Structure 1
Amino acid sequence: MRSHNFPSVRAFAAGLALVFLASAASAEPSHGIAMYGDPALPPDFVSLPYARADAPKGGRLVEGNTGGFDSLNPFIRKGTVPWQLRFYTHESLMTRSMDEPFSLYGLLAESVEVPADRSWVEFTLNPAARFSDGSPVTVEDVIWSFETLGTQGHPRYLGFQQKVAQITQTDPRSVRIAFNTADRELPLIAGLRPILKKAQWDGKEFSEASLHDIPIGSAPYVVSDYDPGRFVVLKRDPNYWGADLPARRGTNNLDELRIEFFGDDSVLFEAFKSGLVTLYREANAETWATQYDFPAIRDGRIFKSEVTHQRPSGMTGYVMNTRRAPFDDWRVREAMILAFNFPYINDTITGGRQARITSYFSESQLGLRPGPATGREAALLAPFAADLPPGALDGYALPDGDTSPRNRKDLRRAVDLLEQAGWHVENGALVKDGAPFRFTVLLRQGDALNQSVFDMYRPALERLGIEMTTTVVDNAQYAARQRDYDFDMTPFRRDLSLSPGNEQKLYWGKTGVTLPGTGNLMGMDSPAAEAMIDAMLTATTNDELTSAARALDRVLMAGRYVIPIWSFGPDRIAHAKELKYPEHIPIYGGRNGWIPDVWWYEE
């Protein structure tokens, strides 16, 4: 038996033996695990409910990305990576069902074992598990992957390490991970950690991998060809080890996945219309309704599919960096939201077809409810009442705006708030302590839609005496500047799930105020938000989770960190007629895990 201890918690490990003895009696190996209750699928399930078990194999799918890439390693901070690689080329110990809020089933691990208090988790590897080069996946690979990602990996992996007390090999195919923190989600997060091949990195610096150092994985797809900044080709591995696993049956049916790169969305859309790209996600309902009347649609070569889902809206909008003045003042941020006349801009961009996002978890049971906080929500927020921004406890709602360009009512409210914050107009310019109110919006090259939005936003700001400029940079600079929080305002998108947990610390946690590369673009440092996330992580029932999520939603909205824009509604996917999918749509809709996972190609 070998034991690998993290140095910062080495002393803690000695006390774990008693915990193991006390909890082992209640733990039994299982085929799956759920965040609350039991997983929906039985041990003898044949396939995932939204997969067609006998789907044909073959064909290809071509996706389009904008920008470029200079890395094929999605697990480190360095470089810009095609976002799809994180999902297509590597596997974890368990895999998620997209038809349940948060349940996992065996993949590299044939079973999982946890005690009632979830103070540890043990995985037993499937003896058939193999990397794409044919070598077996071992416990040594698992332990190395956890420790390396936890110390040298992308920031999304670093927080988990701090909650791990000990990783121990318990037999030739089993590994136990003990935790030093009460957090019921940790066993599931452990189950979703990507597993890499240790031997590939002997004598190499993992965090400094070059473009050509492609991590070896165990997934059904491997990178077969690429041209930096232009395309990546992934081929289905004919010797993929897990093709007959219940969680894999009827999935990964396409022989080839190709990712083409384009300078901007307009060029990408033209490539789709011409057939160079075979699948396109449309975010704009107005475009979907009015611009999909080209020849390939009319003659049936391309189908339009609207895929419904039950997931939260998440947040889309424009984030303000509170690390910098003047956005470190909530009154200024509220004034910026008031000046953004959503009905007018929305009518112009989407034809008014897409409703405004009203909160981070809106369109789900986890979203805040109008009016004052009550019950468990109020109790969770009460200890922080003195420091919460206005509206957190008594209710916060976005301004109504109007469909006229000027929106005088909200601009008057913005002026009052700016004056309260110490700003006043001199010679047509808004100033404070002699310095004018100026800020810059960071945009990605080719982002014509957001450029149009800011062109409509600018006149309202000018009427307030505010000078706004936009800076357009290439894909690499954009990623680097967001990673280093080098912006005043920038477009923002945060997807959220029906089972929020530890990822919320990455999105809103105080470590992101200074640590580069987190999701905390706004730079928020809120003890109340941290406490609400902790309440999520220790919740034992859906009701407790819901109360904590709604309370967090209140803190986020009342913080006025983002100018929210429109929700997306159903997933709008246009695709070549040969690309098919099953009738059963999972609750998460068109997210990764459904497309391209359960799609197939059929002439």
Structure 2
Amino acid sequence: MRFFKFANESAIRRAFAVLACVATMPLASAAEPMHALAMYGEPALPAGFSHLPYANPDAPKGGTIRLAESGSFDSLNPWILMGNPVWPIFTQPGLLAEPLMMRSIDEPFTLYGLLAESVETDPDRSWVEFTLRPEARFSDGSPVTVEDVMWSYETLGTKGHPRYTAVWSKVAKMEQTGPRSVRFTFNTADRELAMLMGMRPILKKAQWQGRDFSQSGLMAPIGSGPYVIDKVDPGRAITFRRNPDYWGRDLPVNKGLNNFDEIRFDYFGDANAMFEAFKAGETDVWRELVAARWDRDFDFPAVRDGRVVKSEIPHQRPSGIMGLVMNTRNPIFADWRVREALIEAFNYRFINMTLSGGKDARITSYFSNSDLAMQPGPVTGREAELLAPFADQLLPGTLDGYRLPEGGDRAIDRKGIRAALKLLAEAGWTVRDGELQDAQGRPFAFEILLNQSGSAMRSSSEMRQIVDIFVESLRNLGIQPRVTQLDSAQYVERTNNYQFDMTWYERGLSLSPGNEQLLYWGSAGVTKPGSRNWMGMNSPAAEAMIAEMGRAETPEDYRAAVRALDRILTAGRFVIPVSYSRISRLAHKSEMHYPENTPLYGDWPGFMPDTWWQEERN
């Protein structure tokens, strides 16, 4: 087993070095071309750097890596709301359709030029201008032009997924300023917008002429990235082939990356089928999400004889949120006391011991495991100032501190059940003839919706085990929810349109939260389909904290705004959280390797398969 620590123990300090240095370093002056752009202070890597610190510039090229996905797909367009797309096209930034700038996963929020050779902005970041590299080419050999950039941004902003349309509304003007330059001027004071404009995929305009971009389909998109789509078996498999004529292969940001000749994704019905395929040697990497299984289930022959090795990869990113989300669009979940009662009834300690042997830590807030997390106890300082105008709107625990119940060692936590019954009674629900009812005699009835293919972080069997224990506990409250499992296409359709009462919910969060938080928690998502606001929250206080994050000019003010948002979200009691791991557990073929200098974000998009390579086993 390999466990790589951060090189020279400096990565934790690097995590917020960019933020901390703003107090002593001036912002870049206006109209000064730069090779990179940081949210605060200066980029960690100077102009002329040789390679990213977490890449191996000497990594050999060649070979094939076979990866597994759960569920199915019916679209090669992940940039719209419609369809069930091949998510690796979206989640592996730069695989197929490159952005203007590339994010370093070794810094909280720094972008380095990719399609863009330089970036310019003013001290207030009221505008940003990018200059394209003259050598940038699409995979068909045609040049990437400003016209392609402008068409991509406008199309994504008007016809794309809500993740793009929300930010586009903050662009006052987009204009070509030179043969290879484009400028975006903003109508909102938000320092992050200059960064976000560098992160949109650039597509070839000519390919989409006469086609409806908003419709899903299996047309292979033309991009400028290192890979092209080689083979598609609809719903079953997709293979990406490395482009030998890739224009950017010698750029410093690409040294040591994109090493495999082929990347293949095979789709399986559920996680159990995926694991069996891995054990049989049909896939090359398995990401284990359950600590107990990591210790218990990896004694098969390939591990014993060294053909498969186990690696543990640390990270310093926030926990994010994961668990069962309650949809407040359903009136029975609108009262915070009801939501708190269901959290009390969820016996976390017993569930965690059953599933992971108690090894993983509980998610205590949306940004736990980071310096952005809310602190225990009453709010103080700048956070208190930010929340004060909303004091009469905030739920109990926001200002004075909120802690999750611990649960008990036995399957039924009687203390939690008593607390839940008291809260439900206060909210107007009482048990009559063994059934929880309101004053009109209507039962407390709801559906728990699950994806039979599982999720990115939990297998369908593990989710079902968690839910079954929870359902058994709810019987003590006179509640008998209905559990429904759907295939991935049906599940995506229902969750995109918020047609559920309770479901499994996962949101990974970064060290640089910003505008995307409106997509997660903004009031527009209460009715607009496709947002990540599955809980249906409508909080002016939360939106004010997100706006404050964009206006913050110092790391201290930014951190205070995020911590204040974390308090609002956690005390909102929208999600019944489970555990998270401070490491990623990857079992993989012994000939698959990755650099020992682990990035700040660890096993995160941009790490695997991007930095990995293949060497023949001795």
Normalised-by-shorter TM-score class: over 0.9
List per-residue Cα deviations over 1:251-307 (Å, max 9, x = no partner). 000111100011110010000011101011111111111111111111111111100
Measured in 2, the distance between the counterparts of 1:539 and 1:292 equals: 47
Are 1:38 and 2:45 an aligned pair?
no
Measured in 2, the distance between the counterparts of 1:156 and 1:314 equals: 18
Measured in 2, the distance between the counterparts of 1:235 and 1:539 equals: 43
Q: Secondary structure at the match of 1:547?
A: helix
Match of 1:376 in 2: 382
Match of 2:591 in 1: 578
Measured in 2, the distance between the counterparts of 1:295 and 1:80 equals: 36
Measured in 2, the distance between the counterparts of 1:93 and 1:406 equals: 54
* C-alpha deviation, 1:146, in angstroms: 0.5
* C-alpha deviation, 1:204, in angstroms: 1.0
Q: Secondary structure at the match of 1:292?
A: coil
List per-residue Cα deviations over 1:338-379 (Å, max 9, x = no partner). 000001111111111111110000010000111000001111
Q: Of 482, 489, 495, which aligns to 1:476? A: 489
**Counterparts of 1:528-567 in structure 2 under 5 Å?**
528-567=541-580
Q: Contact conserved, 2:76 with 2:216, CA < 8 A, in 1?
A: no
**Counterparts of 1:378-527 in structure 2 under 5 Å?**
378-432=384-438, 433-446=440-453, 447-527=460-540
Q: Of 223, 231, 237, which aligns to 1:231? A: 237
Measured in 2, the distance between the counterparts of 1:541 and 1:225 equals: 48
Measured in 2, the distance between the counterparts of 1:362 and 1:257 equals: 34
Structure 1 portions without partners, runs of 5+: 1-22
Kindly provide the amino acid, as one letter, of the partner of residue 81 in structure 1: P
Identity level (%): 57
Kindly provide the amino acid, as one letter, of the partner of residue 242 in structure 1: G
Match of 1:19 in 2: none
Q: Secondary structure at the match of 1:536?
A: helix
Measured in 2, the distance between the counterparts of 1:287 and 1:262 equals: 20
Q: Contact conserved, 2:30 with 2:120, CA < 8 A, in 1?
A: no
**Counterparts of 1:127-276 in structure 2 under 5 Å?**
127-211=134-218, 213-276=219-282
Residues 1:364 and 1:351: Cα distance change in structure 2 (over 3 Å): same
The RMSD of aligned alpha carbons is 1.1
* C-alpha deviation, 1:25, in angstroms: 7.2
Q: Contact conserved, 1:27 with 1:116, CA < 8 A, in 2?
A: no
Kindly provide the amino acid, as one letter, of the partner of residue 545 in structure 2: M
Kindly provide the amino acid, as one letter, of the partner of residue 541 in structure 2: A
* C-alpha deviation, 1:325, in angstroms: 1.9
List per-residue Cα deviations over 1:186-218 (Å, max 9, x = no partner). 01100001100000011111111422x222111
Kindly provide the amino acid, as one letter, of the partner of residue 133 in structure 2: N
Q: Secondary structure at the match of 2:362?
A: coil
List per-residue Cα deviations over 1:318-346 (Å, max 9, x = no partner). 10000112111111000000000001111
Measured in 1, the distance between the counterparts of 2:524 and 2:65 equals: 39
Match of 2:126 in 1: 119
Measured in 2, the distance between the counterparts of 1:266 and 1:569 equals: 24
Measured in 1, the distance between the counterparts of 2:486 and 2:28 equals: 55
Q: Contact conserved, 2:494 with 2:500, CA < 8 A, in 1?
A: yes
Q: Of 568, 582, 585, which aligns to 2:581? A: 568
List per-residue Cα deviations over 1:372-397 (Å, max 9, x = no partner). 00001111111000010100000000
Are 1:62 and 2:54 an aligned pair?
no
Residues 1:45 and 1:440: Cα distance change in structure 2 (over 3 Å): same
TM-score by length of 1: 0.95
Match of 1:332 in 2: 338
Measured in 1, the distance between the counterparts of 2:104 and 2:193 equals: 17
Q: Contact conserved, 2:449 with 2:483, CA < 8 A, in 1?
A: yes
Q: Secondary structure at the match of 2:437?
A: strand
Measured in 2, the distance between the counterparts of 1:540 and 1:568 equals: 32
List per-residue Cα deviations over 1:113-158 (Å, max 9, x = no partner). 0010100000000000001111100000000000000000011111
Kindly provide the amino acid, as one letter, of the partner of residue 567 in structure 1: Y
Q: Secondary structure at the match of 2:309?
A: strand
Q: Contact conserved, 2:53 with 2:597, CA < 8 A, in 1?
A: yes
Match of 1:10 in 2: none
Match of 2:13 in 1: none
* C-alpha deviation, 1:82, in angstroms: 2.1
Structure 2 portions without partners, runs of 5+: 1-26, 454-459
